[in-house]
Structure 1
C-alpha cells in the first residue's frame, strides 16, 4: 500500500526540471529560468525535451556524496550498483544499456574504453568539486557522436573563490573530508581541491544471506581549474581531475558459484583534463580544445585482471548568430586505446564534423536542429541528426517535441572479440543504431512558483551487440542480434510552498523490452519515483527525500520493489561555519539495488563546513 501511495503521489505532483534548495521565503520570489549548456547552444531547460539540470544547491540539500546518490532521482534514469561502497555503479537512461550513456567531465569524455561495453563507472565519483550536473535523455549522437544513444550526463567542476573545508564522520567507520581554495578576478582565476572518503563499509553480498564480512572503500580526488584572459577576446582555461580508489569486493566462489564473501578487491586510478583557448574572430566565438582521460584498474581475485585505457579528443567549435539564427559548428578527432584480457592493446578512432542551429520564427515558437557526420577508422561512417521544437501555447503551457537518431561503434573489447572462443571466424560487427521520439507538455504558474512537465517517449535500438554462448560447440562471441525498444512516461515538477518549504517530486514508467522475445530488459525498473520536501530558514535548513523503485528483472532473479528515505539538515553557526547532519535509510529498510547485493541499514553522519 505504501508503494502505491508513493508512486501515485509522485505521478500527481511532478518532479523538478531543476531542483534547488530555496532561500528564505519571499512572497515576490520566483523560480529562476534554468539553462542547459551540454546542448552546445545554451538552451532553456523547460524548452528542451529530455533536459535536466541538478545544481550545487540541490546537491547540498540532498546531502549527496557520490554522483550515483543523486542521479537515481532523475526520471527515466536507473542506477545499477553492485555493492553500496565501491561496487560498480553504472547508469541506464531510458532502458538503454550503460555503454550507451556518454559521460563528460568539463566536456571531456570519460567512458572507459577497456570496459566491455565502454561504460563509465560512477562508484568512486565524488561530488564535492562538482558545480552542476546536466542530463540529456534520448539519442544525442548528433551533438556528441558515439556512446550517446541513451543520452548524455555532463558534469562541471566548480570555480573557487576563497577557502572551503569540511569534515564528516558517521556509521561504518566512515570519514569524509574536503579542502579547497581559489581566487577569481575578472582577468584570471585559479583554484585547487582535494577530497577523501574512507569507510569500513558493509558486505557487498547481502548480509541477510549469511555474508557478515565488511567490504571497505577508500577514494581520494584531487583537482584544479585555471583561467586567464589575455584580452577580452582571448581567454585560456583548463582543468584537471585525478581520482584514486580501492574497494573490497565479493565474488562467486566454488563450488556453489553464488555471490558470497570473498577476499576480492579492486583498485583504480583515473584522471581527466582539458586545455582550451577561446577567441573571438570573424564574428564568431571560437573554442580550440585538447582533452584527455586515462584509467587503470586492477582486480585481485580467483580470476585476476588488469586493464588500462585512455582517450584523447581534439575539438574546434565556433558559435555565432546571423539573420536571427543562432548556430554552432565544429570538428573533432577522437582516439581511444584500451588493453584486453590477453594483455594486448588495441585502439579505435573517429573524425567528425557537426552543426546545430536554433531559430525563433515567432516570439512563441523555437526550432532547433543538429546534424553530425562521424567517420570511424574501422566501422565506416554514420550521419546522425536531431530536430526539436518548443511552442508557448499560452496560459503557462509549453509544448515541445523532438526526434533524434544515434549510433554506437563497437567497443574495443567487442571490436576484437575479447573473451571470445570459436573455431570459426568471428562475425564482423556493425555499429548499433537508434532513433528516439518524445513529446512533452510543460506548465508554469503565472508567478513562477510552480512548474512541471510530462514527457512521453519511445526509444528503439537496432543491431544491439550481444555476447552469445553456444552450449553445443562451446563457442562464444559477439553478434549484432537484438533489437530493443523502450516506451516511457516521465513526470517532473517543483514548487515553492511558502513558509520556506519547497517540494520536488518525480515519477517514471519505463517499459524496456527485447523486441525479439518480448522479455523485459534486465535491471530496468518499470516504475520509479522520488519526493523531496525541503525547508530553508535563516539558519536551519533540511530536506526529507523518499525514493522508491518497483520490481526489476535481474540476472539471478527478480529484485524486489523498495522504498527508502533520507533526512539531511544543516545549521549555520555563523556565515562562515555550518554544521551538517544526515540520516540515510531512515526506516531501516532491508532492500537491494541489484539482486544479491545488500544496501546499508539505517546510518548517520555529522560534519562541519567552513567557508571564507
Structure 2
C-alpha cells in the first residue's frame, strides 16, 4: 500500500501544480495515426498502440531511446550502466528478446544475442522523427520476435540545415549536424551526431566503485525518395552507429560487480530500399531491408566477438473498396549469427500474410493472418483481430485478441555453452496468446483524452537454459492494467499521465518475473510561452525482483524527476537547458548498477 501511495503521489503532485492553470481554451486535434500496423490505423481505435512524435521527444529533452520509452505504460527498462550499458526493454512482462525493434521498417534485433534482443544502450534519438509502440503479440504483422510487441522508429526527412550542440555534467558533449532538401517530387537528407561522456561508474559508487565508465557514440545516416510520376516512386534510408563503452564486470576473487577495465565495442548499420507502384488497381511495394551488427567485449585483455546480420525481402499489395481496406503479401527473412566460440548458423523463414480493415464510422474491425514456414523449426500460423466502437459522449470501447510465435535464436539453436550430454532436446518455437480490452475517452474540443486497458498475455514453451542446455519448459503469464491520459490545461500548460500495474509470473515456478516492477507511473507537465517553454517529468517505479548472481534480490523502488527548458532567441536560434534527477535521488534501474545524481546540461539549436 505504501508503494502505491508513493506512485500516486508522484502523479498527483504534478496535477496539483497544473490545476490553477485550467482554462476554457478549445483546441481541435487531428486523429493520431499509427503506421506500423501495415494498414494505417487511428491510435484511439488500436488497442496497445502509442505514438511518440518529434515534438514530444524534443519537449522531454530525450537524448537516448530509453529516456522516452520509460514513460510508456507497460514498458520496463533494464539498464546495466547509465551511459551505454546494456539496455533492454520488456513489454508487458515479456522477456527482451520478444520485442521486435524496427528502424525505418528494418528489423535490427541482434541475431547473435542469446534471446535475439536489441540493445538500446547507444540508440540516440537525434535523427528520429517518430516512435510507434505496439504492445501485445504482433506476429500476424511482423512474424517472429514480436510476441511482446513492436517498437518502430522512423528517421527524419530533413528540410534545410540543422545543428545542435550541448555540454554538461560528467564532461559530456553532444553535437548533431543535418542537411537536406524536400519537395513533392524528391527529398534527400543526411545527418551525423556524436555523443561523448566520461560518465560515472557502472557499478554503484556507493559500493566503493569510483572508476568512471564513459561512452563514445557516433551515428551517421541518410534518407531519400524520388517520384518518377504519380504512380511510381522509390525511397530508402541507411543508418550506421558505432559505439565504445566502458563497463564493469565481476572480478575474482569475490566475483561480485565492481570496477574493472572491461570495455565493449559495437558497430551496426541498417537500411532499406523500396519501390512503390500502381498496377491492377493495387498499390505494390517491393522492399529489401537489412541490418548487420558486430560487438566485441574486452575483459582481462581478451576479446569476445559476436556478429549477426539479417535481410528481409518483402512484397506487399494494398487496396481499398468502399469501407474496406486490405493488404496482402509475402516475405523472406534470412539471418545469420557468428559466435565468439567459432560456431555459426543460418536461419530463414518464408511467410505469406493478409489483413483487412472495415471502417463503418462508429465501428472499426481489423483482422489479419500470417503463415510462417521456418527452415528449421516447422511452420506456424498466427492471427490477430481487433474491434473499436465509438459510443456517445466521446467514449470508445476497443478490444483485441492475438497470437504470436518466436523461433529459437542462433545461440539457442547451436546450443552455445551447452555442457549436458547429447542428444539435446529438439527445440520448438515459443508461442503466445493475448487478450485486451480498452475504454477510451476524448472531449469534443480535443483538450482531454484518456484510455484504460486491461490485458492478459500467456507465453508457452518459453526457452530456458536448464542443466547445461536449452529446453522448452517455462510458461509465463502477465496480467496488467494500463492507464494513460493527456490534457491541454490552458495558459500554455499541458499534462500527460501514465500508470501501469503488471503482474508477471513464471507459471512453472510461481515466482515473479525478474526486472518487471509491479507498479510504474510517470507524469509530464509542460508549459509553452511566447519564447520560453519547459517540461517537468516525474517517474516512479516500485520494488522489483532482480538477479543477485545466483539468487533473487529486491531492487528498491524510486521516484525521480527531470526538468527540460528551451528559449527561442530568434527564429533560427534556440537555447536549451535540462536538469536530470532534480532531487539528487540515489537509485538503481538494475540491482548493483548506479544511476547519475543531479546533473545539468546546456545547449543550442540552429535551424535554417
Please tell me the TM-score bracket, short chain as reference. Answer: over 0.9
2:572 equivalent among 548, 564, 576: 576
Q: What CA deviation, in whole Å up to 9, does each residue of 1:376-416 have, x standing for no partner?
A: 00000000000000001111110000000000000000011
> In structure 2, which of residues 381, 386, 402 is the aligned counterpart of residue 383 of structure 1?
381
Correspondence 1:567 to 2:563: yes
| Kept in 1: contact 2:460–2:475 (CA 8 A) | yes
Is 1:14–1:452's contact at 8 Å kept on the other side of the alignment? no
In the other structure, the counterpart of 2:433 is 435
Q: Which residue is equivalent to 1:350? A: 349
Q: Shift of the alpha carbon at 1:251?
A: 0.2
Deviation of the 1:232 alpha carbon: 1.2
Residues 14, 453 of structure 1: 8 Å contact kept: no
Is 2:529 the counterpart of 1:537? yes
Q: Give the distance between the partners of 1:11 and 1:180, measured in 2 at CA.
A: 37
8 Å CA contact retained: 1:14, 1:494: no
The one of 363, 381, 384 aligned to 1:365: 363
Residue by residue over 1:192-226, the C-alpha shift from the partner in whole angstroms, topping out at 9 and shown as x without a partner, is 00000000000000000000000010100000001
Shift of 1:185: 1.3
2:151 alignment partner in structure 1:
153
Name the counterpart of 2:446: 448
Partner SS for 2:233: strand
Distance 1:175 1:212 in 2: 21
Give how far 1:517 is off: 1.5
Structure-2 residue corresponding to 1:18? none
Q: What's 2:19 paired with?
A: none
CA, structure 1 residues 456+218, in 2 after alignment: closer, same or farther (shift >3 Å)?
A: same
Q: Give the corresponding residue for 1:22.
A: none
Q: CA deviation at 1:464?
A: 0.4
Distance 1:331 1:325 in 2: 21
Choose the corresponding residue for 1:133, options 131, 135, 145: 131
Q: 1:515 matched to which residue of 2?
A: 507
Cα distance change on mapping 1:249 and 1:257 into 2, 3 Å: same
Deviations 1:515-535 (A, max 9, x none): 122100000000000000000
RMSD: 1.6
For residues 475-510 of structure 1, the C-alpha deviation after alignment (integer angstroms, 9 at most, x for no partner) is: x00000010000000000100000000000100000
Q: Are positions 1:276 and 2:274 aligned together?
A: yes
- Tell me if 1:322 matches 2:321: yes
Aligned position for 1:600: 596
Q: Distance in 2 between matches of 1:292 and 1:505?
A: 37
Kindly provide the CA deviation profile for residues 27-52 of structure 1, in whole angstroms up to 9, marking residues without a partner as x.
34223310000000100000100000
* Aligned positions of 1:212-231 closer than 5 A: 212-231=210-229
Query: Hey, what does 2:488 align to over in structure 1?
Result: 496
Residue in 1 that maps onto 2:27: 29
Q: Which of 523, 527, 548 in structure 1 is aligned with 2:540? A: 548
1:337 matched to 2:333? The reply is no
Q: Take 1:591 and 1:479, find their aligned partners in 2: how far apart are those partners?
A: 36
Q: 1:307 matched to which residue of 2? A: 306
Task: Verify the 8 A CA contact 1:10 1:506 in the aligned structure 2.
Answer: no
1:158-181 Cα distance to aligned partner (Å, 9 max, x none): 000000001000000000000000
The runs of 5 or more residues in structure 2 that have no matched partner are 16-22
Question: CA 1:12/1:508 → structure 2, altered by over 3 Å: closer, same or farther?
Answer: farther
Q: Secondary structure at the match of 1:593?
A: coil
Structure 1 position 13, deviation (Å): 11
Question: 1:58 and 1:330 mapped to 2: Cα distance?
Answer: 34
> What pairs up with 1:223-302 in 2 under 5 angstroms?
223-302=221-300
Cα 1:347–1:14, aligned 2, differ >3 Å: closer, same or farther?
A: farther
- Give the secondary structure class of the aligned counterpart of 1:592: coil
Answer yes or no: is the 8 Å Cα contact 1:14–1:492 preserved in 2.
no
Cα distance in 2 for partners of 1:523, 1:184 equals 44
Do the aligned partners of residues 14 and 213 (structure 1) sit closer, same or farther apart at CA in structure 2, a change above 3 Å counting? closer
Establish whether residue 482 from structure 1 lines up as the match of residue 474 from structure 2: yes
Gaps of 5+ in 1: 16-24, 470-475
SS at match of 2:426: coil
Q: Which runs of 4+ in 1 moved over 6 A?
A: 10-15
User: Paired residue for 2:119?
Assistant: 121
CA distance in 1, matches of 2:10, 2:433: 28
Alpha-carbon distance between aligned partners in 1 of 2:156 and 2:24, rounded to the nearest angstrom: 28
Look up the SS of the partner of 1:304 in the other structure. strand
For 2:76, which of 70, 75, 78 is the aligned residue? 78
Measure, in 2, the Cα distance between the counterparts of 1:353 and 1:560. Answer: 46
Partner of 1:473: none
TM-score (norm 1): 0.96
Deviation, structure 1 residue 271:
0.2
Q: Please state whether the residue corresponding to 1:231 is helix, strand or coil.
A: coil
Shift of 1:5: 4.5
Q: Indicate the SS of the match to 1:252.
A: coil
Equivalents in 2 of 1:381, 1:174: separation in Å?
A: 49
The whole-number CA distance in structure 1 between the counterparts of 2:380 and 2:14 is: 38
Name the structure 1 match of 2:464.
466
How much has 1:8 moved relative to structure 2? 2.4
Which residue does the alignment assign to 1:472? Answer: none
**Are the aligned partners of 2:14 and 2:525 in contact in 1 as well (CA < 8 Å)?**
no
Where 1:65 maps in the other structure, the secondary structure is coil
Between the aligned partners of 2:46 and 2:210, the Cα distance in structure 1 is: 47
Contact 2:11 2:523 in 1 (8 A): no
Q: Following the alignment from structure 2 to structure 1, what is the Cα–Cα distance between the partners of residues 291 and 208?
A: 40
Residue in 2 that maps onto 1:184: 182
Residue 203 of structure 1: aligned partner:
201
User: Residue 14 of structure 1: CA displacement?
Assistant: 12
Q: Distance in 2 between matches of 1:52 and 1:553?
A: 27
Instruction: Please state whether the residue corresponding to 1:256 is helix, strand or coil.
Output: coil
Label 1:75 to 1:14 Cα distance change in 2 as closer, same or farther (>3 A). farther
Q: Are the equivalent residues in 1 in contact too, given 2:11–2:522 (CA < 8 A)? A: no
* Contact preservation (8 Å) 2:276, 2:285: yes
CA distance in 1 between partners of 2:13 and 2:603 (Å): 33
The equivalent of 2:411 in structure 1 is 413
**TM-score, structure 2 normalization:** 0.96
Change (3 A) 1:13 1:318: farther
Cα deviation for residue 62 of structure 1 reads 0.3
